[in-house]
Structure 1
Amino acid sequence: MSVKKIYLIRHGQTDFNVRGIVQGSGVDSSLNETGRRQAARFHAAYAHLPFDKVYTSVLRRTHESVQGFLDRGLPHEAHPGLNEISWGVREGLRITPEEDAEYQGVLDQWAAGQTHARLLGGESPDEVAARQRPFIELLKSRPEEETVLVCMHGRAMRVLLCQLLNYPLQHMDSFEHRNLCLYRLHYSGSMFTVSSFLDVAHLQGE
């Protein structure tokens, strides 16, 4: 088969991002003005590519981040497997490692390899990985889709990259992200490789 090209992006900025409020899968926020500008710049930079399919999570901030492509009538599928991790009862709250010992404790557990850990009512990285696997198999099973655009969320993106590249989940923080960053991946039919990490050239001047 020909090499499948995957353009993997995180959604654009929301007001929750600016305020340091955890969104997760249970907060269906929209892009703010900066986020919409980021989406427009990404579209301007990559509108020339022949995307065969656009994949997003079911949350509106991913749809809005690729709206320019959807407005052109490109085929689109939304998958719950691409949703952000659930932070449970902490969603919608401002929590940071410096201010919240419980939150930091869970992050420390993940880094130590205890990727079954979760906040109350939330998901573990192991559970996120499990719900992503059907999407990964779908992606691999469609060789006719040679160039695809995938828009998702920061923590979930880290989990997905670990799975695609065979990294243990405890190393997910090795994959940095920011709003509307791009990872380019290739799938040869047997393995995934990354050709570009954390590309934000399209956001220059924002």
Structure 2
Amino acid sequence: MIDIYIVRHGETDTNKDGKINGASTDLPLNDLGKRQAQALHESFDINKIDRVYSSPMKRALQTAEIINNNHCKIQIDNRLQEIDYGDWDGLPADEVHAKYPQAFDNQGYLRDNYSDFCNGESYQHLAQRLQAFWQELVTDNHDNAVLLVCHGTVSRSLVQTVLGISDISQVMQVRNAGVISLRADEKTGKAFLRYYNRIAPAEFFIR
């Protein structure tokens, strides 16, 4: 079995200001984001992790570096970068919602058709690249514990994909520096959820 810990990056100013934070908005962590990552480092026993994977984006890689603290080499994978929101990247989310209400569901999440309005990456394309990443992950990590540091929508899409959830809107947003834990069978690739959206200080390693 493989234990997978998925971490959303710490806060950036784009998060703080309520703006859409996608692949074209590549800001580093702000002061709170750094403290969130440091709190994870202090609460998360990195010595129990065999491999660390990260999105190449500044906010994710910086979070990974703080948590990892030179424990092992961080493997950067472009498939973990955040979804590309196209023309909406970096814009205030409430302004986009007011102008394009048909692109949002009643929970405030973007619908599957959102990309029709902004030339963004579709949820389907995001799921395809994450499915390819997942297949390699389970093949290459027999009996390992792995840490993935990525993004909010990437985390939601990955959980949706590997757990077979029909609609990404059924997967809630992860808080900045929130942790999701999955356990997967490397023979079948099937996984089950152990916990969702846990933040430091907390116990992250469970039997």
TM-score normalised per structure 2: 0.86
Q: Hey, what does 2:102 align to over in structure 1?
A: 105
Q: Hey, what does 2:129 align to over in structure 1?
A: 131
Instruction: Verify the 8 A CA contact 1:57 1:78 in the aligned structure 2.
Output: yes
Which whole-Å CA distance do the structure 2 matches of 1:99 and 1:140 have between them? Answer: 38
Instruction: Classify the secondary structure of the residue corresponding to 1:77.
Output: strand
After TM superposition, the structure 1 = structure 2 runs for residues 37-56 of structure 1, keeping only pairs within 5 Å, are 37-56=35-54
Q: What is the CA deviation profile of residues 100-127 of structure 1, one whole-angstrom value per residue up to 9, with x for unaligned ones?
A: 231x32233999xx73541322111111
Which whole-Å CA distance do the structure 1 matches of 2:38 and 2:78 have between them? Answer: 24
Q: Hey, what does 1:194 align to over in structure 2?
A: 193
After TM superposition, the structure 1 = structure 2 runs for residues 155-174 of structure 1, keeping only pairs within 5 Å, are 155-168=153-166, 170-174=167-171
Deviation at 1:198, TM superposition (A): 1.2
Indicate the larger mover: 23-32 or 173-182.
173-182
Residue 202 of structure 1 aligns with an amino acid whose one-letter code is P
Which whole-Å CA distance do the structure 2 matches of 1:38 and 1:85 have between them? Answer: 22
Which whole-Å CA distance do the structure 1 matches of 2:125 and 2:171 have between them? Answer: 19
Which whole-Å CA distance do the structure 2 matches of 1:176 and 1:99 have between them? Answer: 17
Which whole-Å CA distance do the structure 2 matches of 1:177 and 1:47 have between them? Answer: 21
Structure 2: any 5+ residue segments left out of the alignment?
Answer: 203-207
After TM superposition, the structure 1 = structure 2 runs for residues 48-197 of structure 1, keeping only pairs within 5 Å, are 48-96=46-94, 99-102=97-100, 104-108=101-105, 115=112, 117-118=114-115, 119-144=117-142, 146-168=144-166, 170-189=167-186, 190=188, 191-197=190-196
Deviation at 1:97, TM superposition (A): 7.2
Over 3 Å counting, the alpha-carbon distance change for 1:116 and 1:126 in structure 2 is farther
Identical columns (%): 24
Which whole-Å CA distance do the structure 2 matches of 1:30 and 1:47 have between them? Answer: 24
Q: Hey, what does 2:205 align to over in structure 1?
A: none
Structure 1: any 5+ residue segments left out of the alignment?
Answer: none
Over 3 Å counting, the alpha-carbon distance change for 1:146 and 1:97 in structure 2 is farther
Q: What is the CA deviation profile of residues 64-110 of structure 1, one whole-angstrom value per residue up to 9, with x for unaligned ones?
A: 112134432412111121111111011111122785231x3223399
Which whole-Å CA distance do the structure 2 matches of 1:97 and 1:165 have between them? Answer: 33
Q: What is the CA deviation profile of residues 33-67 of structure 1, one whole-angstrom value per residue up to 9, with x for unaligned ones?
A: 00000000001111354211111111010011121
RMSD in angstroms over aligned alpha carbons? 2.5
Over 3 Å counting, the alpha-carbon distance change for 1:129 and 1:187 in structure 2 is same
Which whole-Å CA distance do the structure 1 matches of 2:47 and 2:172 have between them? Answer: 25
Over 3 Å counting, the alpha-carbon distance change for 1:86 and 1:34 in structure 2 is same
Residue 181 of structure 1 aligns with an amino acid whose one-letter code is G
Over 3 Å counting, the alpha-carbon distance change for 1:26 and 1:72 in structure 2 is same
